[in-house]
Chain A
């Protein structure tokens, strides 16, 4: 590589590393969709740390995730979000998430695997709702994901449903997410070499109407279809991931603006297993 190209590479790499972010509840493990769910786990007694920075309509939010492998097919995740100041919001911790994943089907073959996993979790009202750092509600979600991983290609599909609680007589609409993703590894390098995967995700989000005092708000809810290109760059046990979710079309109720694009940049570390 020429010296001037090396400098640009280091600058871009440094920016990516510098943006430590907070995780969305649906953050990925290893090679998984950036905005959706995937079936991979970390292995028994293994653990991983992840930090993702997300920028959307709610400003910058950083999620710190701790993932632990109870078994080769079961992983538990704790997510601690930190919201940066935005409009009327002062910085501070938001609503924590506890999430479990059970990979109930796995078919391993040479240089690849197919897997299905069930996901479920709860979002806790740990953020200060008055300071706009949390919803003040206990929300539940469950999902099913599929993943096919080979040396060259990745394919993912998942569906997830979130039931939102109510707080101060406001009941936010439930959310159904449906996603399909494809990824490709341009260069099939070996273990102690850098690894790059390019991802493209298609996401559909169906949101129910909010209700205040059991009266539906006609200007909430609807459907948004988005496309999200992304990259996953890893070396040994460190992965840097980045993507942008771009709304393509919407069918929103009443008078609503098209959602803002979302940017996600993160770094993930796989740690040595305890035994």
Chain B
């Protein structure tokens, strides 16, 4: 085989291996609260780049999202990602590994709250209750059941008065009370 043919064969093989490797790169998207300015984001970038396996990352301040690109085969430690975000002075809320479901990071450490909700009559009511609770700052992992007349969620801020949740639901026109355990 001539030198030129060998060269092109080698180039094609390298390109194929590179393409395969790039396809196996895993991405992790983290929702970071407290991220309001580019100047502050620099510290976050540097912290996250120190994580083993991170090849590059992308920060979208307007969306409050950070996407980490891990090299093929790298171990993804969710706790370490959350820890680095906290060390940078921000709060990690949600983490999603490509191909998996979204994980509420702070929900692991929050308090579970259950509300009895009376007056819901359809899935539209369920959506309204769910959306209202989800918009509250400390609330994660909201589950609303029409048949059980219950709304369950996690709140990561112990300082929040639980009556706030009851008032938010009652403002929609439903009756709500904290479930007694």
Q: Using a CB–CB distance below 8 Å, which chain A residues touch chain B?
A: 30-31, 40-46, 69, 72-73, 106-113, 149-151, 185, 188-193, 195, 197, 234-237, 239, 270, 272-273, 275
Given contacts A72-B89, A107-B137, A108-B90, contact A113 B36 (CB under 8 A): yes
Residue among B34, B90, B137 facing the most chain A CB atoms (10 A cut-off): B34
Q: Which one of B38, B46, B62 has the highest number of Cβ atoms from chain A below 10 Å of its Cβ? A: B38
- Per CB-CB distance, the 3 closest pairs between chain A and chain B, nearest first, are A108-B34, A108-B91, A108-B33
| Neighbouring A residues of B64 by C-beta, 8 Å | 110-111
* Chain B residues in 8 Å Cβ range of A72: 86-89
User: Do A236 and B37 have beta carbons less than 8 Å apart?
Assistant: no
Q: Using CB atoms, name the residue of chain B closest to A48.
A: B43
Kindly list chain B residues whose C-beta atoms are within 8 Å of the C-beta of A197.
Answer: 37
Which residues of B sit under 8 angstroms from A188, Cβ to Cβ? 61-62
Residue of A at shortest CB range from B35?
A111
> Do B90 and A270 touch (CB < 8 A)?
no
Is B128 part of the contact surface with A, judged by Cβ < 8 Å? no
Mark interface residues in B110-143 (1 if CB within 8 Å of A CB, else 0). Answer: 0000000000000000000000000001000000
Which parts of B15-57 form the interface with A (CB within 8 Å)? 31, 33-47, 50
**When the two chains form the complex, which single residue of B36, B43, B59, B61 contacts A43, counting CB atoms closer than 8 Å?**
B43
Q: In the complex, what residues of A have CB within 8 A of residue B35's CB?
A: 111
Q: How far, in whole Å, are A109 and B37 apart by their CA atoms in the complex? A: 13
**Across the interface, do B43 and A31 meet the contact criterion of CB distance under 8 Å?**
no
Assembly CA distance A236 to B47 (angstroms) = 14
With a cutoff of 8 Å between Cβ atoms, the chain B residues found around residue A108 in the complex are 33-34, 90-91
B89 and A237 contacting across the interface, CB-CB below 8 Å: no
For the complex, is B109 an interface residue (Cβ under 8 Å from A)?
no
Indicate if B163 sits at the interface (CB-CB under 8 A): no
Q: Complex: how many Å from CA A163 to CA B131?
A: 52
Residues of B contacting A40 in the complex (Cβ-Cβ under 8 angstroms): 40
B43 contacts A270, C-beta separation under 8 Å: yes
Q: Which residues of A contact B45 (CB under 8 A)?
A: 191
Q: Does B60 contact A (CB under 8 A)?
A: yes
Option from A42, A45, A113, A191 in Cβ contact (under 8 Å) with B38 = A191
CB of B42 within 8 A of CB of A236, answer: yes
Return the contact of B88 from the options A43, A106, A151, A190 (Cβ within 8 A): A43
A72 to B88, CA, bound (A): 6
Q: Known contacts A40-B40, A44-B87, A108-B91: does B34 contact A273 (CB below 8 Å)? A: no
B interface size (C-beta, 8 A): 31
Q: Of B34, B36, B39, B59, which contacts A106 at CB under 8 A?
A: B34
CB of A115, distance to nearest CB on chain B (Å): 9
A4 to B171 Cα, complex, angstroms = 58
Return chain B residues, CB-CB under 8 Å to A273: 43, 46-47, 50, 87-88
Nearest chain B CB to A82's CB is how many angstroms away?
25
Output the least CB separation between A106 and chain B (Å). 7
Chain A contacts for B50, CB-based, 8 A: 273, 275
Q: A195-B37, A273-B46 are in contact. List 16 more A-B contacts (CB 8 A).
A: A30-B39, A40-B40, A43-B88, A44-B89, A46-B88, A72-B89, A107-B137, A111-B61, A149-B37, A150-B36, A151-B61, A191-B45, A236-B39, A237-B39, A270-B43, A273-B47
Complex Cα gap A201–B116 (Å): 48
Check if A189 sits within 8 Å of B38, measured CB to CB.
Answer: yes
B36 engages A111 (CB within 8 Å): yes
Is A113 within 8 A of B34, CB to CB?
A: yes
Listed by A's residue number, 30 A-B pairs whose Cβ atoms lie within 8 Å are A30-B37, A31-B37, A40-B40, A41-B89, A43-B44, A43-B88, A44-B88, A46-B43, A106-B34, A108-B33, A108-B34, A109-B33, A109-B137, A110-B33, A110-B64, A111-B64, A112-B34, A151-B36, A188-B62, A189-B38, A190-B60, A190-B62, A191-B38, A191-B45, A197-B37, A234-B38, A234-B39, A236-B39, A270-B39, A273-B46
Contact B38 A195 (CB under 8 A): yes
- Name the residue on A nearest B59 (C-beta): A191
Task: Known contacts A108-B33, A110-B64, A113-B36; decide if A237 and B137 are in contact (CB<8 Å).
Answer: no
